[in-house]
Structure 1
Amino acid sequence: MSEFDAIFVGAGHNSLACAAHLAAKGWKTAVFERNETIGGAVQTREYTLPGFRHDFGAMNLSLFAGSAFHRKYANELNAKGLEFAPVAHCFASAFPDGRWFGVSNDLELTASRIAQFSATDAETWRRLVGLFPAEAEHLFRLLGSPISARSLAGTAWNLWRKKGMAGALDTGRLLLSSPRAWLEETFEAPHVRATLAAWGMHLDFAPDIAGGAVFPYLESMANQSFGMVLGKGGADTIIRAMAGMVTGAGGTIATGSEVAEITTAGGKATGVRLASGETHTASRAVIANVAPGALVGKLLPGGSGDAGFDTAMRKFRHAPGTMMIHLALDDLPDWAAGAELRQFAYVHLAPSLDAMSRTYQQAMAGMLPDAPVLVVGQPTTIDPSRAPEGKHVLWVQVRVLPAEIAGDAAGKIAPAPWDAVKDAYAERALDIIESHAPGLRRKILGRAVFSPLDLERENPNLVGGDQVCGSHHLSQNFLFRPARGFANWSTPVAGLHLVGAATWPGGGTGAGSGYMLAQKLGGG
């Protein structure tokens, strides 16, 4: 048995950020991870062929690069090997009519592309970009701070002081709007609307779901204003650097060490018991980076002692599933809409707001969508080091999918468990890419397919293949993430804290929950 100040269950990036800060403050920390590889959904491995490095889940590291944790520890992270690969051509969409639109970090280049669809939209874009710094101040303050009624009141006061009542209400309306509502009142070109709306699908916001407008807005404006960053060599560059900080400060990271139970006494967390039978004590905190259902369903066998909290954890809503297709390629896709698309980090294949809405509803009804939304990542166009010279990797997210299959909207695949149908459904996704980039299949050197079930097997936090560990709809966000009264990473068990994408401020690579909890526990 070993004694620590803080014990972490799971080695996702929020755990590592929290452990790194506490270790820097002199805490004796230990991180226990069930898998042999740390990082949670932020991993990079050779899934297809030797020399081809594929990001398991997260690819975009812009949130981490702009995070408060990175601002404080940039020098230490760089010393541990952190490297970013900057992206100038951030995201684009290709459409069935042979046209395309993309956002680069050159304002006039992006505006000129928009003007091909609508001169009015091009001027609107310039105006939004000009206003973005002032708007971003308030939104980033909200999304980057601990959430409480007091903090919300402070944000509202700051908004009123800077923008007046009308301006403050406009920002509030943006936060409550659906993607469709904001896009249709802001832009007139369907191609522009669809390109931006695709970002909502990354976070469980189909076009007609309230509260989703802010994500297409922030992603498009931030990419235009700052560009994007990937990890040099893979997204796991942030994991390796943070792990180096933890161990360099005397912390312990143990892989292949599954936590079977969080031990308690007198209503206080006292440590953990591993599946091997080992026990370890924590004198100051136990921090669980797990999906809410696992906390009360497994790690606390007798529950938390608060029936309301336990019910909320069991009923925590997960987003629809995702399939990941990793391809080793002889060359990048030859996009029929234009060779310029080969320069972009992301190419979305999501033809319209209506198509995205239909796909979402099909998945929610348990049906395999007939035309899923595809996010095609081309990381080696930015960072050639991820593949042998002249070769490439393709990172394909297939969104959105049911965790359990009740039927097929196309009527071609018989209902069956994912293990039986994943290859057939992967072919449907590849057919869609092939229709936009003829000859893709001839370039494939190797492939690996992860169904929603496979993703959960790899990482139990990805329940049903939910890559953002929980719906971000308004009823489960802000003060309600993961449950009313517990948005400050606390639980009813003293000394036990919950971090990760299921907690405020939600999914992404910004390390927000881990770092803010670390500041709360150990000071800034």
Structure 2
Amino acid sequence: MTTAEVADAVVIGAGQNGLVAANLLADAGWDVVVLEAAAAPGGAVRSAEVTAPGYLSDLYSAFYPLGYASPVMHALDLGDHGLTWRHAPDVLAHVLPDGRAARLNRQLETTSASVEEFAAGDGERWQHAYAEWANVSAPMLETLFTPFPPVRGGAGLLARLRLYGALRLARRIVVPARKLGQEIFRGEGAQLLMAGCALHTDLSVDDAGSGVFGWLLAMLGQEYGWPVPEGGAQKITDALVSRLWVSGGHIEYGARAERVLTARGRAMGVSTADGQLWRARRAVLADVPAPALYLDLVGAAHLPSRLVEDLDHFRWDGSTVKVDWALSAPMPWKDPATGGAGTVHLGADLDGLARYAAELAVGEVPRDPFLLVGQMTTADPSRSPAGTESLWCYTHLPFRHEWHAEEVLAHVARMESVLEEYAPGFGRLVVGRHVAGPGDLEQENPSLVGGALGGGTSAAYQQLFLRPIPGLGRADTPVDRLYLASSSAHPGGGVHGGPGANAARAALARNRFLTGDAYHAVIAGAYRALY
């Protein structure tokens, strides 16, 4: 008979959110075990040499404005565990089809001069837009990375903005990216810097709510840059693991969670595929997609029927194709200034961005893909031999659970054609290539369902208290002592630790608030009212 291992908290998944949650619980003195199905930690924050010897590639995520700015990550002091940040000379370049490029630089005057080339007065308008951001940056970030409703951060915003300013901000949150850019700026350069950032999500420049994503990422780039970890994305994971080990936490590898064990409406532990039982004295936290937690690990029979019905309407973000190349020399851009940008947006003006998103929306493979390109050696010289470049690029496809290899390779050919157009001679520099289609991404990391990177759509109908389905906007679930700690929960996708931190806070609150019984009564009552 299998004996049960016992811990205060059992965390499912050693992705960045699971590791953040485990660290915070260990800091509170809890005995924590993390169950990771793979042989190594990190989820979508990992690095390896996959193109050619000496060329380091980030396998999934790469640039980290949210991680660098996140108060959650900042409070963990990961620099004490080996994490060092590096910046490219320019944060971002958006290259237009006519060859012109708008550049975002951490020096405000440099960005202003770039967008001024597209329209007289846009340099000053950019500075004004940044001043507005700087006024709300701290309370905005606090609001983003705390449970819903964000009482303290919201109060801070209201104190800064007063009522009318808060109403203007509320409007900005729902305005489409194209319209927001056109309201603030006159020229296409500044507009594209924001609109291109919006397409880091699965939203169109004309979708409600896309403007706030573009504004957020562009302004974070202006304030903090889009830095990368020296030595690869893996260094974020390594620092989180090192910190957890020092705090007394433990990670069990090759331990695939098969079932969340429940009794009398309460999470009691986890069973793994090898038959091992892991009993949780206080909490189970799951860094897995919401459908996987509710339908696979818990089971519909243990959940309110309306919750199960609503999961039928859960929407994933788009599928993704990601390619890494080892180049024998820097990218031969037509515009040499583009060579200084860590990230390059390539292949579309505003109308092109709209057409690209429209094709995705109707399930078509874009004929002219919009590319997000990363020049990793430009940002961090340790990524490849001197005088070379470790390059990556990704683009979206319509969401599907299955893609044939020939479809993926045909789209990679389109991607390489775009790169060759803007950087003639690119193909001759390639000494190694690694292609990760949607199926490859999911095979390596089952949480990336269909190659979706964000844990669910960024659309307004699946945000805040609507994420992952209409509910409390919190990490709590209808099962007592069970918490959703993945990017399927508020505040969503990105490497910032928000969902993991929110889950840890909820577990700690449930434990200390009148031994948890009164807390659970409040949460359970709220769920009864909902469902």
Same fold (TM > 0.5) = yes
Q: Which position in structure 2 is the counterpart of 1:342? A: 339
- The equivalent residue for 2:423 is 437
User: Matched residues in 1 for 2:223 and 2:135: separation?
Assistant: 13
Matched-pair contact (CA < 8 Å) for 2:136–2:160: no
What is the Cα deviation at residue 248 of structure 1? 2.0
For residue 173 of structure 1, what is the aligned residue in structure 2? 171
Kindly indicate whether residue 433 of structure 2 is the aligned counterpart of residue 447 of structure 1.
yes
Tell me how far 1:158 sits from its aligned partner.
Answer: 4.6
Counterpart residue type for residue 21 of structure 2: C
Task: Provide the C-alpha distance between the structure 2 equivalents of 1:136 and 1:21, rounded to a whole number of angstroms.
Answer: 24
1:325-345, Cα deviation, whole Å (9 max, x unpaired): 011111121110x21211111
SS at 2:283 equivalent: strand
What is the CA-CA distance between 1:440 and the residue it aligns to? 0.6
Alpha-carbon distance in structure 2 between the residues aligned to 1:343 and 1:142: 33
Task: Report sequence identity in percent.
Answer: 31
1:159 deviates by: 4.2
Q: How far apart are the structure 2 equivalents of 1:141 and 1:251? A: 27
Distance 1:372 1:303 in 2: 43
User: 1:103 corresponds to which residue?
Assistant: 104
The separation in 2 between residues aligned to 1:194 and 1:400, in whole angstroms, is 21
Deviation readout 1:334-387 (Å, 9 max, x if unpaired): 110x21211111000142222112212212222111011100000111211112
Supply the distance in 1 between the matched residues of 2:278 and 2:312 (Cα, whole angstroms): 27
Unpaired runs of 5+ residues, structure 1, are 406-416
Q: What's 1:390 paired with?
A: 387
Amino acid aligned to 2:129? L
Alignment of 1:406-445 (within 5 A): 417-445=403-431
Aligned residue in 1 for 2:60: 57
Q: Which position in structure 2 is the counterpart of 1:130?
A: 131
Q: Which moved more, 1:482-491 or 1:161-170?
A: 161-170
Cα distance in 2 for residues equivalent to 1:262 and 1:23: 21
Alignment CA distance shift 1:249-1:354 (3 Å): same
**Structure 2 match to 1:412:** none
Structure 2 equivalent of residue 518 of structure 1: 504
Distance in 1 (CA, whole Å) between partners of 2:202 and 2:307 is 24
Q: In angstroms, what is the RMSD of aligned CA positions? A: 1.9
Counterpart code for 2:449: V
Residue pair 2:69, 2:224 contacting (<8 A) in 1 also? no
Q: CA deviation at 1:512?
A: 0.9
Residue number among 73, 76, 91 corresponding to 1:73 in the alignment: 76
Residue in structure 2 matched with residue 413 of structure 1 by the alignment: none
User: Could you list the per-position Cα deviations for residues 417-475 of structure 1 after superposition, in whole angstroms to 9, with x for gaps in the alignment?
Assistant: 43232112101100001100011111111111111122122222212211111111111
Shift of residue 135, structure 1, vs aligned partner: 2.8
Are 1:15 and 1:500, in contact at CA under 8 Å, matched by a contact in 2?
Answer: yes
Deviation, structure 1 residue 166: 2.3
Amino acid at match of 2:367: D
Structure-1 residue corresponding to 2:293: 295
Q: Which residue number corresponds to residue 116 of structure 2?
A: 115
Assess, with a 3 A threshold, how the Cα gap between structure 1 residues 491 and 347 changes in structure 2: closer, same or farther. Answer: same
TM-superposition CA deviations, 1:167-191 (whole Å, max 9, x none): 1211111011110110111112123
Residue of structure 2 aligned with 1:483, choices 469, 494, 498: 469
TM-score (norm 1): 0.93
Checking the alignment, whether the CA contact within 8 Å between 1:200 and 1:206 is kept in structure 2 is yes
Confirm or deny: 8 A CA contact 1:88 1:228 kept in the other structure: no
* Secondary structure of residue in 1 paired with 2:180: helix
What amino acid does structure 2 have at the position aligned with 1:51?
Answer: G
In structure 2, the partner of 1:304 is 302
Q: Give the TM-score, by structure 2 length.
A: 0.91
Q: How does 1:200-349 map to 2 (within 5 A)?
A: 200-336=198-334, 338-349=335-346
Q: Unaligned stretches of 5+ in structure 2? A: 513-531
One-letter amino acid of the structure 2 residue matched with residue 14 of structure 1:
N
Aligned length: 507
Kindly provide the CA deviation profile for residues 309-338 of structure 1, in whole angstroms up to 9, marking residues without a partner as x: 2222343111111110011111121110x2
8 A Cα contact 1:304 1:310, kept in partner: no
